[in-house]
Structure 1
Amino acid sequence: MISCSLFPFVQAAPAANVKIAINRAEMPDKAKEELVLPYLFNTESMGLNLGVGGMLSGYYQEQMTIGGTAFGGDVSRGIAGGVWNYALPNTDRMFLSIYGMFGYYPNQRAYTGLGGQFVPPDQPLPGSNDSSNEQYLEADGASNWFDIKLEYALPWGATKKSGLVSYQLEGGLLVSEPSGGKVWNPLESGATVLVLRQFNRYQSFEFEHNTLDGTIHALELGILYDNTDFPINPSYGSRQYLSISHDAAWFESDHEWTFINLDMSKYFSLGSSKYASQRVVALNFWTGYSPSWELKYNEMGARTVFGNAPYNEGARLGGFYRMRGYDQNRFHDKAVIYGTAEYRYTLRANPIADINWLRFLHLDWLQLVGFVEVGRVGESYRASELLKDVKYDYGVSLRAMMAGLVVRTDIAQSEEGTNLWIMVDHPF
């Protein structure tokens, strides 16, 4: 099975990031960037879709980005947009981002059961590690989301004097002083960012005789320490993010849940070579736990889950960031553990550098990537459960630096099929 995700403007993990201003040697008199990129994709569930995405960066404030995309097919349609990293008046440390997407999709798939439905003791819970990929709900419906994010750059390390860090690039690679990576000390190196995110999700499934829908209105509080040399495309250093998310069953949200998240990455530079301007080994470890998640049993020993995050939040695996060889949100449970390794090989050659009609892409480099991933969800946070019967996948990726953004096309293979993902940003 080949599936595809739209690339523009999807919320990455972690929620916080370093606020940056980029100056490219190729455009010394212009700090502004713009990019318009038409695209098409064809999937088994959505058919052929055409779309266009665009972004403007540095036009009002040097670190601020405005972007959007729209696409459509025979049944599917969507529109997304937002403003990222707007510095609030009278401060250079507080940044606001507002973004969202509204879409309608054929054959939406959710690896979950009906809410409150009891599962017999001899059957795995839908979406659990032992579940079948035939255990899902599927129907046409809406999938909408909207986020508001407030970030504060703490006054030490690389952001001691200002919440904004400036970088000079040549050929898409850092030539100015790195912001971190040489020592691990938040007071001296790297940037520390606090984030408060309010996020909302709505999804519906329009079956023949009824419609199921669900809503999330949740908060996330997190802290990021980014001690890499260049946060957009790190070659050495590390990054750590710790957060807690909570839905108090506000408004249309129908149940309460809590999720704790730890995300850690490490990068090793192998230097350059004859054909590579940069060679990097990138490692990522992610784990999470939902203390509110519990099982309820009936008199027949069947069970159902309550106090859990929805299948597309919390301890979940599968999709364009983690376990790319599996469908989006294929696995979910009370606890999760995940690890990945990537080898990133940035080519010296730029095949379109001298092609005038392609210069609108602002392409600085192409990167070849090979990766492997392992992960596991479970009903408890015990090594005896999370370190056995793990899932794995592997794949390759072609990435490009365009107008200061990393755009990637990943192909991943797992025991359940092959997936194609087109996205913005490295997965970590």
Structure 2
Amino acid sequence: MMKECSFQASKKQCLTALSSAMLLVIPFSVLSAPANVKTVVNRSESPKFGAEELLLPYIFSTDSMGVNIGVGTMISGYGQEQMTIGGTVYGGDVSYGIGAGVWNYKLPKTERFFLSVQGFLGYYPEQKAYAGGGLDYIPANTALPGSNDSSNEDFLQADGSSNWWDIKLEYTLPIGATRDSGEVTYELTRGLLTSAPTGGEIWNPLESGATVAILRQFNRYESYEFEDSLLDGTIHAVELGLLYDNTDFSVNPSMGSSQYLSISHDAGWFDSENEWTFIQFEASKYFSFGSSDYASQRILALNFWTGYSPTWELEYNNLGARKVVNGAPYSEGATLGGFYRMRGYDNKRFHDKASIYGTAEYRYTFKNNPIENINWLKFLRLDWFQLVGFVEAGRVGESYTADELLTDLKFDYGLSLRALTAGIVVRLDVAQSEEGTNAWVMVDHPF
């Protein structure tokens, strides 16, 4: 029997935490804010002319996937200074994955248009989805799967595929720090900014920081292979957004702020069954406390994010049971849990019509680099280690009201070890919540 999954199941990566170790070597930046400042990073420790290259074999193991072995590679600055090319492949007894991408390719005969294309094909045993509220009517006295009051035991689980590909076009506005060029250049020594900051001192898009407009088309397919049926779902959506990054160093900010506003829409094209719309807003603020005896940087980083799906509705039957119609998919809409928001909870653990989220991180960058003089590790181009403590709070709800979203919030806390390697931040986060402990290995700061 074949059934199609109306909740439009999809994930950006596999659901188990450490299986994302493959991302250590390729900047799948779509997992964070889709738009970013176009940067050229020059390390004083690297040759003045030449690309940054990294080739890294890796191994990881999870309860569901077993042992997997893979290799990843990236090269930045080859052909175009701001462009990055990367790829990875891994495999185990059942699971496998292969991904590749090109980021920030400047279109010929243009100064401000940048194209990025990336994709991933993967097969995972026992992948989870805290979803199903759009499949069947849920009794009135039962929480919708993935809602704020739902059980963490209420999920779909089966072997299956999770495939996606994105294409995005970005335009750097000719104002502020990018008035004369589509990208900004940072000079680093030991991973710290030595050139002039691109923003942070005044909030004025016309004078400071970089403003980037984005048009993104993204596609997801996911399947769940149960013994007697197949659930699968597809999305083909478009996102239009605007980023204003007014930080001193967008890769590792120590002062300033950033804001991102976007709207996403799936018109039910091709084999995508549902029509939905989702609006999101994100803001971050950074405060520097300078250096100390053991730290080169001490930074307080704050982040706020909220999202709303105006098309999301509940449909009732004659018994009062309800199901979700025209809602943004659980992996793309008002969703919390996983790599970037509410890290103490499973990936995409909570989702609903609306969401709110806030976090604070204290980032302590060590002066001492214990591997700096180890010759056989110099290929990592590792400039610093950073210890981070963080707390998070968030909630999803059926309405966008203070009574709904500011009561019964979920909380977690944790520690993170981060490093700047070849101009890219990588991190290992460990977070604790009321539902357990999670560990995540990922590229880039969460904000």
Answer yes or no: same fold by TM over 0.5: yes
Determine whether 1:105 maps to 2:119.
Answer: no
What SS is found at the alignment partner of 1:358? Answer: helix
Q: 1:354 maps to which residue?
A: 373
Spell out the pairing of 1:155-194 with structure 2 (5 A cutoff): 155-194=174-213
Contact 1:23 1:31 in 2 (8 A): no
Output the CA distance in 1 between the equivalents of 2:47 and 2:87: 26
Contact 1:245 1:260 in 2 (8 A): yes
Output the CA distance in 2 between the equivalents of 1:274 and 1:12: 35
Q: 2:352 maps to which residue?
A: 333
Structure 1 runs of 4+ with >3 Å offset = none
Q: CA deviation at 1:2?
A: 8.0
Output the CA distance in 1 between the equivalents of 2:302 and 2:325: 34
Q: CA deviation at 1:390?
A: 0.5
What SS is found at the alignment partner of 1:271? Answer: coil
Q: 2:430 maps to which residue?
A: 411
Opposite residue 154 of structure 2, the aligned amino acid is Q
1:308 aligned residue (308, 320, 327): 327
TM, length-normalised to structure 2: 0.94
What SS is found at the alignment partner of 2:18? Answer: coil
What SS is found at the alignment partner of 1:381? Answer: coil
Contact 1:21 1:62 in 2 (8 A): yes
Q: 2:273 maps to which residue?
A: 254
Q: Deviations over 1:181-240 (max 9, x none)?
A: 000000000000000000000000000011110000000000000000000000000000
1:206 aligned residue (203, 208, 225): 225
Q: Deviations over 1:287-346 (max 9, x none)?
A: 000000000111111000001011111000000010001111000000000000000000
5+ residue gaps, structure 1, are: none
Contact 2:18 2:439 in 1 (8 A): yes
Determine whether 1:6 maps to 2:20.
Answer: yes
Q: CA deviation at 1:48?
A: 1.5
Q: CA deviation at 1:277?
A: 0.4
TM, length-normalised to structure 1: 0.98
State percent identity of aligned pairs: 68
Mean Cα deviation higher: 234-243 or 37-46: 37-46
Q: Deviations over 1:112-158 (max 9, x none)?
A: 11643000000000000000011110000000010000000000000
Q: 1:119 maps to which residue?
A: 138
Output the CA distance in 1 between the equivalents of 2:124 and 2:190: 39
Determine whether 1:280 maps to 2:299.
Answer: yes
Spell out the pairing of 1:13-24 with structure 2 (5 A cutoff): 13-24=32-43
What SS is found at the alignment partner of 2:252? Answer: coil
2:215 aligned residue (196, 204, 207): 196
CA RMSD of aligned residues (A): 1.1
Q: Deviations over 1:385-414 (max 9, x none)?
A: 100110011110110000000010101111
Determine whether 1:290 maps to 2:309.
Answer: yes
Output the CA distance in 2 between the equivalents of 1:344 and 1:240: 20
Output the CA distance in 1 between the equivalents of 2:186 and 2:88: 27
Opposite residue 222 of structure 2, the aligned amino acid is Q
Output the CA distance in 2 between the equivalents of 1:5 and 1:426: 18
Contact 1:2 1:418 in 2 (8 A): no
Opposite residue 335 of structure 1, the aligned amino acid is A
Q: 2:62 maps to which residue?
A: 43
Spell out the pairing of 1:377-396 with structure 2 (5 A cutoff): 377-396=396-415
Spell out the pairing of 1:81-100 with structure 2 (5 A cutoff): 81-100=100-119
Q: CA deviation at 1:95?
A: 0.1
1:139 aligned residue (146, 158, 168): 158
Determine whether 1:27 maps to 2:46.
Answer: yes
Output the CA distance in 2 between the equivalents of 1:17 and 1:215: 26
Opposite residue 199 of structure 2, the aligned amino acid is G
Mean Cα deviation higher: 148-157 or 69-78: 69-78
Output the CA distance in 2 between the equivalents of 1:2 and 1:100: 19
Q: 1:239 maps to which residue?
A: 258
1:317 aligned residue (329, 336, 351): 336
Q: 1:77 maps to which residue?
A: 96
Q: 1:422 maps to which residue?
A: 441
Opposite residue 276 of structure 1, the aligned amino acid is A
Mean Cα deviation higher: 265-274 or 35-44: 35-44
Q: 1:63 maps to which residue?
A: 82
Contact 1:155 1:161 in 2 (8 A): yes
Opposite residue 173 of structure 2, the aligned amino acid is L
Contact 2:133 2:145 in 1 (8 A): no
Opposite residue 130 of structure 2, the aligned amino acid is Y
Output the CA distance in 2 between the equivalents of 1:141 and 1:23: 42
Contact 1:31 1:62 in 2 (8 A): no
Output the CA distance in 1 between the equivalents of 2:239 and 2:208: 26
What SS is found at the alignment partner of 2:121? Answer: strand
Output the CA distance in 1 between the equivalents of 2:376 and 2:366: 21
Contact 2:133 2:144 in 1 (8 A): no
